A and B are shown apart, each in its own frame.
Chain A
Amino acid sequence: MIDWKKILIPIAAIVVLLLLWEALVWVMGWPDYKMASPSDLWPAFQRYQNLFWLYGWQTLWRTVVGLGVAVVFGTLLGMVMGLSKTMNDALYPLLVGFNAIPKATVVPVIALMFVGQHDFNTVLMAFMISFFPIAVSVAIGLSTLEPEYRDILRSLGASRMTVFWKIALPKTLPEFFGALKVAVTLAFIGTNLVEIITPHGRGLGHLFQSAQTRSDFPLMFAVLLALAALGIVLYYAVVALEYVFAGWAVRTAH
């Protein structure tokens, strides 16, 4: 059974927000070049519809690939740190330091290192900005496993791998998905950083950039909304995955 309330309430909230926005612009009498209103967005979208679909797709696949690499790398790193105290002590400061570097400053560096590899650079940035929360949550999930959980299987002579597969990994899944939800939005930031900063880019970030040079406010806002829409889609894709793989944790939450 579909719970219509769960779908209608958020949609109503979006409509109310757009109406308030429209009213604000109308009351203040702001012209287009100062602040676009929602009614300007649809024409802007229609005018560049082809570009929206093409660039939207580019932004989406780069983000998803970057996120995918972040999941694999972040999980492996989290496993190493979660299972070995020494590795945790060694890697944690490095990881925090790396994460503290503003990623916008890294864009020119990788643009120089891999000149012209625009797809690669974008995926790389989406990955670099989003693996941190995944690695940390997996590491914490594994290292805080209560010893009793381990002892139940270890006392039967089970190997470390068995304990990992049967207990540690599934037990970490809720934390993992919590981190993945954060990582999704971060990955979008990474993709757009590269798309906006590097010249001759592609993707929605590039469309935003070219709208900005022409002071096309309606188009700029239309891109922002398109990015928000993509973010929502990807976020709920993660929620769906969470329900499939860690539904037990979602169900026990209420």
Chain B
Amino acid sequence: MENLIEIKGVTHAYKTKSGPFPVLNNLNIAIPQNSFCAVVGPSGCGKSTLTRLIAGLMFPDQGEVWLHGELVKSPRKTVGMAFQNPVLLEWRTILQNVILPLEIVAPTMPKAQKEARAKELLAMVGLEGFENKRPSELSGGMRQRASLCRALVHKPDIIILDEPFGALDAFTREDLWQTMHQLRAKEPFTALLITHDLRESVYLGDQVVVLSGRPATTQYVMKIDMPGPRPLEMLYDPDTVERLAVLRREIQIAQGRVEA
């Protein structure tokens, strides 16, 4: 399978007054087309820097980010983003919020077509009938669903998810995990998910990448070959429990709490 994203030997440091502050060190990640990559690692290990590098909002000091066989040198229209904070625009309805990326990427697309596309996605995530509500009228989980629709509306090559489920309660989070699988089944996409939740990474990821402590490097990669949509019961499989134990240990190594 062709790799949609290839991160090759990426090293990056922020310039601060007290000298360079290294965040990434020789990071390597490869994500095949239509697969889901979950990235876990200790707090502050540079995961968000990684998302900005892939989105073309920043450039690494060393190494290369390849997207669809092209070197990433600037932002591109083929990326969708969703964050822990859904950042919906309060002055727009849910439908108009979801349309926003199309206004940038496809300004000439007829309005009706834009709206049809947005409605189709909203229906997929269970937000039918909420098109004309304001973001403040929705619950946190619903807002995050709308935010996912906005990330997907322009059919990006890759969606970058920076802890989108982090601020939700446990039940809503499980609902959204299932929604992710349903979305992928209906409309395959490639995704990179930053998360702190190992169960989330195992349930959603086709591969789980463990980053080391700062400066982050690729410490461990776990492949999970289990085509979706996955049932929620998977979380209680002995296999999953074993995977979680392995990942937990890798995180502890990354945190420097146990010897490798």
Contact A152 B90 (CB under 8 A): no
**In angstroms, how far is the closest chain B Cβ from the Cβ of A62?**
33
**B19-27, B52-60, B250-258: which one contacts chain A?**
B52-60
> In this assembly, does B75 line the interface, its C-beta being within 8 Å of a C-beta of chain A?
yes
Contact A154 B105 (CB under 8 A): no
Could you tell me which residues of chain B, from 67 to 93, have a CB within 8 Å of some CB in chain A?
Answer: 74-77, 79, 81, 83, 85, 87, 89-91
**Residue among A154, A162, A167, A246 with max Cβ neighbours from chain B (10 Å):** A154
Chain A 134-175, CB-CB to B under 8 Å as 1, else 0, gives 000000000000101101111111100010001100110100
Contact A156 B91 (CB under 8 A): no
For this complex, 9 residue pairs linking A to B, each with C-beta atoms less than 8 Å apart, are A148-B85, A153-B101, A156-B76, A156-B101, A157-B77, A158-B104, A171-B91, A248-B134, A252-B134
Question: Which listed residue (B56, B103, B136) contacts A166, Cβ 8 A?
Answer: B103
Q: Please give, as numbers and ranges, the residues of chain B lying within 8 Å of A158 by CB-CB distance.
A: 104
* Known A166-B100, A166-B103, A251-B134: A155·B79 in contact at CB below 8 Å: yes
Complexed CA–CA distance, A170 and B97 (Å): 13
Question: Which listed residue (A146, A151, A173, A252) contacts B52, Cβ 8 A?
Answer: A151
A→B interface (CB under 8 Å): 146, 148-149, 151-158, 162, 166-167, 170-171, 173, 246, 248-249, 251-252
Contact B57 A154 (CB under 8 A): yes
* Known A148-B83, A252-B134: A153·B89 in contact at CB below 8 Å: no
Contact B81 A157 (CB under 8 A): no
Q: Please give, as numbers and ranges, the residues of chain B lying within 8 Å of A157 by CB-CB distance.
A: 74-77, 104
* Known A148-B83, A252-B90: A155·B134 in contact at CB below 8 Å: no
Complexed CA–CA distance, A252 and B87 (Å): 15
> In this assembly, does B150 line the interface, its C-beta being within 8 Å of a C-beta of chain A?
yes
Contact B76 A152 (CB under 8 A): no
